[in-house]
Structure 1
Amino acid sequence: MNALIKSATIVDSKSDFNNETVDILIEKGRISKIAKSIPNPKDYKEIKLDNLHISQGWFDSSVSFGEPGYEERETIVNGLKTAANSGFTAVALNANSQPVIDSYADITFVKSKAQDHAVSLYPIGALTQLSKGEDLAELFDMTNAGAVAFYDYQKPISNPNLMKIALQYASNFDGLVCSFPQESKISGLGVVNEHINSTKLGLKGNPALAEELQVARDLFLLEYTEGKLHIPTISTAKSVELIRAAKAKKLNITCSVTIHNLVFTDDVLHDFDTNFKVLPPLRTQTDCDALIEGLKDGTIDMVTSDHNPIDIEHKKIEFDFAKYGTIGLESAFGALRNIFTTKKAINILTKGKSRFNIVESAINEGEIADLTLFNPDKTYEFSTEFISSRSKNSMFLGSKLKGETYGIIANNKIALK
Structure 2
Amino acid sequence: MDILLRNATIVDPLSSYNNGQYDILVKNGKLALVKKDIHEEVDKEIDLRGKVVSPGFVDVFAHFNDPGLEQKETVESGTAAAIAGGYTNVFALPNTKPSIDSKSFVEYIVQKSDKLPIHVRPLGAATKNIEGKEISEMFDMFQSGAVAFTDGLYPVQSAGLFVKILQYVKSFNGVLIEQPFENTIGSHGLMNEGIVSTQLGLPGIPAISEEIFIQREIELLRYAESKLHITGVSTIKGAELILKAKAEGLNITFSVTPHHLTFCDEDVVTYDTNFKFNPPLRTSADRDALRQLVLDDKVDAIASHHFPQHWDDKIIEFEYAKNGTISLQTAYAAVQTAIPQLKTEQVVKLFSTNMRNVFGLNNGFEMGSMAELTIFDPNATTVLTKENNKSKSANSPFFDQELKGAIVGILSKGKLILN
TM-score by length of 2: 0.95
**Counterpart amino acid of residue 386 in structure 2:** T
**Residue 44 of structure 1: how far off its partner (Å):** 2.1
Change (3 A) 1:67 1:297: same
Other structure's SS at 2:411 match: strand
Deviations for 1:264-317, whole angstroms, at most 9, x for unmatched residues?
A: 111111111111111100111211122223334444311111111111011111
Higher mean alpha-carbon deviation, 11-20 vs 95-104, is at 11-20
* Aligned match of 1:344: 346
Change (3 A) 1:332 1:50: farther
1:9-48 alignment runs, 5 A limit: 9-40=9-40, 42-48=41-47
**Residue 366 of structure 1: how far off its partner (Å):** 4.0
Higher mean alpha-carbon deviation, 405-414 vs 43-52, is at 43-52
* Aligned match of 1:402: 404
* Aligned match of 1:146: 145
- Residue 2 of structure 2 contacts residue 42 of structure 2 at CA under 8 Å; is this kept in 1? no
Q: Distance in 1 between matches of 2:319 and 2:131?
A: 23
* Aligned match of 1:314: 313
**Counterpart amino acid of residue 27 in structure 2:** E
Deviations for 1:171-202, whole angstroms, at most 9, x for unmatched residues?
A: 12212122321111112200100011111111
Q: Distance in 1 between matches of 2:32 and 2:124?
A: 37
**Counterpart amino acid of residue 195 in structure 2:** I
Deviations for 1:328-353, whole angstroms, at most 9, x for unmatched residues?
A: 11111111212122221122111212
Higher mean alpha-carbon deviation, 12-21 vs 279-288, is at 12-21
Higher mean alpha-carbon deviation, 103-112 vs 116-125, is at 116-125
1:112-131 alignment runs, 5 A limit: 112-131=111-130
- Residue 85 of structure 1 contacts residue 415 of structure 1 at CA under 8 Å; is this kept in 2? no
**Counterpart amino acid of residue 388 in structure 1:** K
* Aligned match of 2:236: 237
- Residue 167 of structure 2 contacts residue 226 of structure 2 at CA under 8 Å; is this kept in 1? yes
- Residue 297 of structure 2 contacts residue 346 of structure 2 at CA under 8 Å; is this kept in 1? no
- Residue 157 of structure 1 contacts residue 180 of structure 1 at CA under 8 Å; is this kept in 2? no
- Residue 240 of structure 1 contacts residue 290 of structure 1 at CA under 8 Å; is this kept in 2? no
Q: Distance in 2 between matches of 1:50 and 1:402?
A: 19
Change (3 A) 1:273 1:31: same
Q: Distance in 1 between matches of 2:379 and 2:327?
A: 19
* Aligned match of 1:77: 76
**Counterpart amino acid of residue 408 in structure 1:** I
TM-score by length of 1: 0.95
* Aligned match of 1:358: 361
Q: Distance in 1 between matches of 2:82 and 2:367?
A: 26
Q: How many residue pairs get matched? A: 415
**Counterpart amino acid of residue 369 in structure 1:** A
- Residue 50 of structure 1 contacts residue 375 of structure 1 at CA under 8 Å; is this kept in 2? no
Change (3 A) 1:365 1:150: closer
Change (3 A) 1:240 1:70: same
Q: Distance in 2 between matches of 1:354 and 1:150?
A: 17
Q: Distance in 1 between matches of 2:344 and 2:49?
A: 16
Other structure's SS at 1:230 match: strand
**Residue 365 of structure 1: how far off its partner (Å):** 4.7
* Aligned match of 2:260: 261
1:5-404 alignment runs, 5 A limit: 5-40=5-40, 42-49=41-48, 51-338=50-337, 339=339, 340-350=342-352, 351-362=354-365, 365-404=367-406
Change (3 A) 1:174 1:365: closer
Other structure's SS at 2:268 match: helix
Change (3 A) 1:381 1:44: closer
The gaps in structure 2 that reach 5 residues or longer are none
- Identity, in percent, stands at 39
Change (3 A) 1:18 1:276: same
**Residue 33 of structure 1: how far off its partner (Å):** 2.6
Change (3 A) 1:178 1:26: closer
* Aligned match of 1:413: 415
**Counterpart amino acid of residue 29 in structure 2:** G
**Residue 381 of structure 1: how far off its partner (Å):** 4.0
Q: Distance in 1 between matches of 2:253 and 2:34?
A: 35
**Counterpart amino acid of residue 108 in structure 1:** E
Q: What root-mean-square deviation, in Å, do the aligned CA atoms of Structure 1 and Structure 2 show? A: 1.7
Change (3 A) 1:333 1:386: farther
Deviations for 1:236-262, whole angstroms, at most 9, x for unmatched residues?
A: 011011111111211111111111111
Other structure's SS at 1:141 match: helix
**Counterpart amino acid of residue 358 in structure 1:** L
Higher mean alpha-carbon deviation, 137-146 vs 45-54, is at 45-54
**Counterpart amino acid of residue 289 in structure 1:** D
- Residue 125 of structure 1 contacts residue 147 of structure 1 at CA under 8 Å; is this kept in 2? yes
Other structure's SS at 1:121 match: strand
**Residue 21 of structure 1: how far off its partner (Å):** 2.4
Q: Distance in 2 between matches of 1:402 and 1:416?
A: 18
Other structure's SS at 1:77 match: helix
- Residue 149 of structure 2 contacts residue 177 of structure 2 at CA under 8 Å; is this kept in 1? yes
Q: Distance in 2 between matches of 1:137 and 1:366?
A: 37
Deviations for 1:7-31, whole angstroms, at most 9, x for unmatched residues?
A: 2211122333322223222211122
**Residue 397 of structure 1: how far off its partner (Å):** 1.8
Change (3 A) 1:276 1:103: same
- Residue 243 of structure 1 contacts residue 299 of structure 1 at CA under 8 Å; is this kept in 2? no
Q: Distance in 2 between matches of 1:62 and 1:352?
A: 12
